Structure 1
């Protein structure tokens, strides 16, 4: 699943592919924003951990991963 994270005062968003379910990501974001955790911590498909301070989150977009298309065919 593709996750896009906006960070305050940063012009670029963080984009990662994660094997976590949408519900797991939503619970992690909710826990970070309600103050239970001070950081949002997610793991991507390669096993890298992304840690963002909760007070710097601008937005989190949770979406389904799109299959990458190869070639020049008209779709």
Structure 2
């Protein structure tokens, strides 16, 4: 799924593809913003961790689950 994160005072957003479910991402964001954690930690499809300071998050956009297609059929 595609996740877009806006960071304050930064003109570009962070875009990553993650294997985490929408519920996992939402709970990680709410935990970071509630003050229990200082960092938002997400893992992308390649296993890399992305750490973002919770006090700098402007917005988080969670996309739909991507369905992987196999084969050479027409789109």
TM-score between the two structures when normalised by the length of structure 1: 0.86
Q: In 2, are the aligned partners of 1:17 and 1:65 still within 8 Å (CA)?
A: no
Task: For 1:5 and 1:33, locate their aligned partners in 2 and report how far apart those are by CA, in whole Å.
Answer: 13
Matching residue of 2:27: 27
Give the ranges of 4+ consecutive aligned residues of structure 1 lying more than 3 Å apart after TM superposition.
none
What 5-or-longer segments of structure 1 have no aligned partner? Answer: 68-74
Provide closer, same or farther for how the CA distance between residues 25 and 15 of structure 1 changes in structure 2, counting only shifts above 3 A: same
Within 5 Å, give how 1:1-75 maps onto structure 2: 1-64=1-64
TM-score between the two structures when normalised by the length of structure 2: 0.86
Task: For 2:48 and 2:30, locate their aligned partners in 1 and report how far apart those are by CA, in whole Å.
Answer: 21
Task: For 2:24 and 2:15, locate their aligned partners in 1 and report how far apart those are by CA, in whole Å.
Answer: 17
Task: For 2:66 and 2:19, locate their aligned partners in 1 and report how far apart those are by CA, in whole Å.
Answer: 14
User: How many pairs align?
Assistant: 70
